[in-house]
Structure 1
Amino acid sequence: MTGPYPGIAADCWLGDQGARLYYASPKTFGPKSISMAIGQGDYDIIYLNSFFSVKGSILPNAVLRRKEKESHILIAPRGEFSPGALSQKTAKKKAFLTFAKLSGLYRNVHWHVSSEAEKADLLRVFPVERARVHIAADPVAISVDDHKHPLKTAGVLSLVFISRVSPMKNLDGLIAILKEVRRKVALAIHGPAENEAYLRQCKMLSETLPSNISITWKGPITPDEVRSTFARHDAFAFPTLGENFGHVIFEALDSGTPVLISDTTMWKEDGTPALRVLPLHDKAKWVRAIEEAADRDETGQRNARAAALGYAKDYASKDRGRKDTLAMFRRIAADRVSATSGS
């Protein structure tokens, strides 16, 4: 969604039933409004859902430090320290990381990561106190909808890509892979264009595809449409440069849609056709995996869909996301109280 939510008042606190929300308009979203919003309450934790976002993380962190509230801060880098993420806008990120390290801008803050792998990425790039890094996977929920799936014809593949159209999600890499595929593939692309220049680049690349490959540019969809959209396709191809979790991957599996992903996420194969993890830069393996998915007949596809649903159900049954997240918040809040009492 590119505009404001309908019926929502901006630049003021909303709600009084145990939860209050503050929607900042683009014009006022800056140090002044952030400082004003923070000053209107006493908070145990202030959660920043990014590291490199200027308005969403860097400015709030700077404001909080001036108010000597850095012990309140919990930052979720959301995969921004993965090698793939750091390969985008490298010079700017290196410069900011150097400044952040030398200035102590992030001293005493807490960090939320989704996995041991994301923790390793963080510690490899940015020197933080290990005791202040908290692992809590994102919570998931099984859909209650009974999705309808189309019949599958051997040799033909209905492929889908649902994500932001940005270099990080590597849509151009997927199009380059499809150039080598020798089966009939129809790719539907759903998602907002984060970068218009990149979108144009992908569209120009798609014009070089052979006649057996077709692409339809669908644009953004609402969150409520994601699972039903996945269900209409035979497979989800996602050669992302990196994800800290990847809700969209779980949503595909929970829709009964098998997934082909790169080896830059936390997701693992389980020996079934539910999910294939493929080396990011091995184009030949990606081509083979897509052709194998295309070669499935209706029976093979039905088995793959059942495997995807089983994977999602099994993951959700073991999911500790909610429990671990609540424990993380309580631990940080308790540490802050202890520090305040002892000062």
Structure 2
Amino acid sequence: MRETTTRDRPTAGGPAARQSAADAATTAFRILATAAVFEPGFRGGGPIRSLRFILDTLPDDVDVTLVTRDRDLHATERYPGLSGELVHRDARSAVFYLDPVRPRQWLRLLRQIRSRPVDLLYVNSLWSMFSVVPILAVALRLLRVPAIMIAPRGELAPAALAIKSGKKRLFLAGWAPVLRRLGVRWQACSQLEADQIAAALPWARVMVNGNECPIPDRPPPPVVAHDGPLRLVFIGRISPMKNLVTALAAVARATRPVDFDIFGPDEDEPYWARCGQLIATMPGHVRVRYHGELPADEVLSTFARYDAFLFPTLGENFGHVILESLAAGCPVVCSDRTPFSELISSAGGAVVRPMTVPALAEVVDELAGRPAGERAAAKVTAGRRYRLWRRQVRELNVLDHARHFCR
């Protein structure tokens, strides 16, 4: 297996400094992490950005190898030059890009993992093959790891469990006893998610840590007032959980001019067909446009162009896209099923309770009726409140917290 280095961090100084670095590497707390998708992919949304932030902010005595698929979510093409490679991001983290159908890559990966002890297995998903396989390897003693932590990333939210509920309940009935016997710990990104985990698995030991925000604390773009139609945007995966159908149905009821732009991968064809039917029947004063997928590095600049982010999600364990919107000075109109209801309400937006089409349509009409100055003032408030919130976030790196929690 060839190792590829993208951001080597050379050891400075003479022999004493190099020996100190070697000693630190020897005593580091070693973590094997898994996720179905990671950079350079972007279709996986928030979890990718969470993992990037976690790896970029590791303490010096924590060492992480992340195993992920060699392609983006739902993609057939591999990342060029990465399949089967171990890529060093820096001195503390590396990523192995796996093609699950290639046995030789599994053997290379197994040799890499067994080459040195692993202190913690950290998996991002409850259902993914990238979680089930390593946990089974521990259960069968093919992999010796003293502790396991699962970050379910919202998969135990009631709305998420309701999608293909029969299969999920059946799987959980057989899988939960295995996880309990192994003494698995759980990470929640918020108290909301911790409560959802406890409701599904009353025996679970849960660590709450939401320190996963990679958005830089730089000034928001300047706000320019405009007199045209209300500019709304949706950025996210086009799937039942994100509830775009409700957004479209509400916009269709608007009594004032509205422009509504949609960005995101249409990963659920039947669901996107329902969206298309609604778009085709919009009244003449409502313009809806679909712009396809949006690369991660264009999200903030895109949000900055709009008056509000319409996001009637059925549930978010964290909600990076909410913070991205606020960071760009774009107020959020959202359901109450996120950890950020208080922040959204104080940042020029609205939390719609309950999230129904009539209730959301009423909010859209109210926004559309605001003068240009009020819309601009709400955008300024969004950027200011986000930066105040960010300065107040003081938590350990998730994996540093996990190291202590799993002892």
TM-score, scaled to structure 2: 0.74
| Cα 1:192–1:183 shift into 2, 3 Å | same
Greater shift in the superposed pair: 204-213 or 234-243: 204-213
CA distances 1:294-323 after superposition (whole Å, capped 9, x unpaired): 1222210121011101221111011124x2
Alignment pair present for 1:49 and 2:124: yes
Match of 2:137 in 1: 63
Match of 1:153 in 2: 227
Q: Where in structure 2 are the equivalents of 1:200-239 lying within 5 Å?
A: 200-239=273-312
CA distances 1:32-51 after superposition (whole Å, capped 9, x unpaired): 46655543442222211111
Distance in 2 between residues matched to 1:41 and 1:105, nearest whole Å: 26
Alignment pair present for 1:252 and 2:361: no
- Contact kept, 8 Å, 2:149 with 2:185, in 1: the verdict is yes
Match of 2:8 in 1: none
Q: How many residues align?
A: 328
Greater shift in the superposed pair: 200-209 or 249-258: 200-209
- Contact kept, 8 Å, 2:242 with 2:313, in 1: the verdict is yes
- Contact kept, 8 Å, 2:220 with 2:327, in 1: the verdict is no
Compute the RMSD of aligned alpha carbons. 2.5
Distance in 1 between residues matched to 2:392 and 2:178, nearest whole Å: 41
Distance in 1 between residues matched to 2:402 and 2:282, nearest whole Å: 49
Alignment pair present for 1:296 and 2:393: no
Alignment pair present for 1:94 and 2:169: yes
Alignment pair present for 1:72 and 2:150: no
| Cα 1:287–1:143 shift into 2, 3 Å | same
Q: Where in structure 2 are the equivalents of 1:250-289 lying within 5 Å?
A: 250-269=323-342, 272=346, 274-289=348-363
| Cα 1:182–1:70 shift into 2, 3 Å | farther
- Contact kept, 8 Å, 2:247 with 2:357, in 1: the verdict is no
Q: Pick from 253, 263, 272: which aligns with 1:190?
A: 263
Distance in 1 between residues matched to 2:231 and 2:103, nearest whole Å: 42
Gaps of 5+ in 2: 1-40, 42-71
Q: Pick from 168, 173, 195: which aligns with 1:120?
A: 195
Greater shift in the superposed pair: 90-99 or 100-109: 100-109
Greater shift in the superposed pair: 83-92 or 274-283: 274-283
Distance in 2 between residues matched to 1:216 and 1:26, nearest whole Å: 37
Distance in 2 between residues matched to 1:186 and 1:291, nearest whole Å: 12
Larger RCO: 1 or 2 (CA < 8 Å, sep 6+): 1
- Contact kept, 8 Å, 2:197 with 2:204, in 1: the verdict is no
CA distances 1:191-227 after superposition (whole Å, capped 9, x unpaired): 1122222222211222122222221111111111000
CA distances 1:240-295 after superposition (whole Å, capped 9, x unpaired): 11000100000000000000010111112355452311124332221121112112
What letter corresponds to residue 96 of structure 2 in structure 1?
A: Y
What letter corresponds to residue 187 of structure 2 in structure 1?
A: H
Greater shift in the superposed pair: 99-108 or 301-310: 99-108
Greater shift in the superposed pair: 226-235 or 306-315: 306-315
What letter corresponds to residue 374 of structure 2 in structure 1?
A: G
Could you say what secondary structure the match of 2:316 adopts?
A: coil
What letter corresponds to residue 256 of structure 2 in structure 1?
A: R
- Contact kept, 8 Å, 2:100 with 2:106, in 1: the verdict is no
Match of 1:27 in 2: 101
What letter corresponds to residue 290 of structure 2 in structure 1?
A: W
Match of 1:339 in 2: none
What letter corresponds to residue 57 of structure 1 in structure 2?
A: S
Cα deviation, residue 129, structure 1:
3.5
* Identical pairs, percent: 31
| Cα 1:93–1:314 shift into 2, 3 Å | same
What letter corresponds to residue 291 of structure 2 in structure 1?
A: K
TM-score, scaled to structure 1: 0.87
